């Protein structure tokens, strides 16, 4: 059994830490803090939440954070989670945006970004490997994972189309599996 | 004011369509803000994205920087709320459904069926992130070193990100 957070305040400050750490993507930090550190949810629950966050419009991690917060403490928890996630990054971004207006030279930044993006890709991959361990050891789920990866990653098809084709088949098979 | 309002309405519509993340509607944001309204240049559009990537927090917040450049503070509020209001509403409905029907067979099939698909999309993000860096064996090597360290040690990954940034600035990656 996983234990949840004690109160919305803890949700807020935890998600604030996740948002502030999230250079090059937040998902890695979300998993690291609420699964590996706090054990508030399991890999399986997080992956299922992410799946729903992806089919809803908007930022996936934002949707996922809202739903996690709501699961723990209703609307108060939901707004604690997204408030924590966004507050500090928004302030930082507005300051950066104003600085950019004044100097408008981001070449050095773009060089730094190349290195950071490579590291971020490696970190995200580490999360994916961790979450893959929650998939059942059967052929069908792994096949769907591969096709989804190849469709969006290699073929560059729009995620929406891949989802519309794969989603219903995957759900139907999962339904029959029960 | 009028500009901020039209930005808000357009981003509100795009926010409703942004299934899979805000980056899926990025081309239309570019078309609207750069080509149609002419509020920012193509270069500024790309820079807004780069800035948000370098800053902590959800990458989708680049729409805030974009709004700021297009129409100042009001513009930033307009684009941010435009994207977040639909996301919040849909997440709320999904949360209510979950609270009521979490263990129904349909919900279970829904979650279990989509979980591997979600993981596939996540892997695709890793792949595209790497490809975006450029086809260079050194960036791939750096990614795999980061992967190995993250999986095998307890070192705070912020050090890895900082190291990656320094390697990038010195032109080694």
Helix B42-54 vs helix B62-101: crossing angle, to nearest 10? 60
What is the sign, positive or negative, of the torsion defined by CA atoms of A138, A39, B88, A21?
negative
Residues B149-168: pLDDT tens digits? 999 988 888 899 999 989 98
Tell me which DSSP letter residue B171 carries: T
Nearest to B46 by CA among A77, A106, A126, A32: A106
Q: pTM, whole model, 2 decimals?
A: 0.89
Contacts of A159 in chain B (CB under 8 A): 19-21, 24, 121
Q: What is the pLDDT of residue A105?
A: 65
Interface contact flag, A114 B115, Cβ < 8 Å:
no
Complex confidence, ipTM: 0.89
Contact B42, B116 (CB under 8 A): no
CB-nearest partner of B22 from A59, A96, A127: A59
Interface contact flag, A58 B112, Cβ < 8 Å:
no
Interface contact flag, A63 B111, Cβ < 8 Å:
no
Q: What is the pLDDT of residue B38?
A: 94
Contact B83, B16 (CB under 8 A): no
Three-state DSSP string of chain A: CCCCCCCHHHHHHHHHHHHHHCECCCHHHHHHHHHHHCCCCCHHHHHHHHHHHHHCECCHHHHHHHHHHHHHHHHHHHHHHHHHHHHHHHHHHHHHHHHHHHHCCCHHHHHHHHHHHHHHHHHHHHHHHHHHCCCCCCHHHHHHHHHHHHHHHHCCCCHHHHHHHHHHHHHHHHHHHC
Under 8 Å CB pairs connecting chains A and B tally to 373
Contacts of B163 in chain A (CB under 8 A): 115, 119
How buried is A173 (Cβ within 10 angstroms: 0-12 exposed, 13-18 middle, 19+ buried)? middle
CA B130 to chain A, closest CA, distance in angstroms equals 6
Contacts of A24 in chain B (CB under 8 A): 53, 59, 129, 161
Contacts of B43 in chain A (CB under 8 A): none
Share of chain A above pLDDT 70, in %: 97
CA B134 to chain A, closest CA, distance in angstroms equals 8
Contacts of A62 in chain B (CB under 8 A): 58, 60, 84, 87, 91
- Arithmetic mean of pLDDT, B95-123: 91
User: What is the biggest distance separating any 2 CA atoms in chain A, rounded to whole angstroms?
Assistant: 60
Helix B105-133 vs helix B62-101: crossing angle, to nearest 10? 160
Q: Give the phi and the psi of residue B99 in degrees, each rounded to 5.
A: -60, -35
Residues A82-124: pLDDT tens digits? 999 999 999 999 998 888 877 766 678 778 888 888 898 899 8
């Amino acid at each position: 059994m996983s234990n949840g957070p004690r109160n919305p305040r803890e949700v807020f400050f935890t998600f604030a830490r996740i948002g502030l750490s999230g250079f090059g993507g937040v998902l890695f930090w979300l998993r690291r803090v609420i699964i590996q550190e706090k054990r508030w949810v399991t890999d399986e629950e997080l992956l299922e939440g992410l799946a729903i966050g992806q089919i809803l419009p908007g930022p996936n991690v934002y949707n996922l954070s809202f739903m996690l917060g709501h699961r723990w403490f209703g609307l108060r928890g939901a707004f604690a989670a997204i408030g924590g996630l966004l507050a500090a990054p928004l302030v930082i971004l507005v300051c950066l945006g104003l600085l950019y207006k004044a100097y408008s030279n981001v070449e050095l930044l773009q060089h730094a970004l190349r290195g950071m993006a490579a590291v971020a890709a490696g970190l995200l991959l580490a999360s994916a490997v961790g979450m893959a361990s929650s998939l059942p050891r059967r052929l069908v789920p792994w096949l769907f994972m591969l096709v989804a990866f190849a469709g969006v990653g290699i073929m560059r098809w729009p995620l929406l189309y891949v989802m519309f084709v794969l989603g219903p088949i995957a759900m139907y098979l999962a339904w029959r599996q029960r | 004011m009028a500009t901020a309002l039209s930005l808000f309405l357009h981003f509100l519509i795009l926010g409703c369509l942004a299934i899979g993340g805000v980056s899926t509607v990025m081309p239309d944001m570019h078309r609207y803000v750069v080509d149609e309204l002419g509020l920012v240049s193509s270069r500024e559009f790309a820079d807004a994205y780069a800035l948000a990537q370098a800053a902590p927090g959800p990458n989708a917040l680049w729409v805030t920087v974009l709004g700021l450049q297009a129409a100042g503070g009001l513009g930033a509020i307009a684009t941010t709320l435009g994207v977040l209001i639909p996301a919040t509403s849909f997440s709320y409905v999904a949360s209510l459904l979950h609270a009521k029907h979490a263990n129904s067979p349909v919900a279970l099939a829904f979650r279990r069926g989509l979980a591997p698909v979600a993981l596939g999309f996540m892997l695709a993000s890793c792949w595209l992130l790497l490809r975006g860096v450029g086809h260079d064996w050194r960036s791939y090597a750096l990614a795999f070193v980061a992967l190995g360290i993250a999986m095998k040690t307890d070192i705070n990954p912020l050090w890895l990100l900082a190291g990656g940034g320094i390697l990038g600035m010195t032109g080694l990656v």
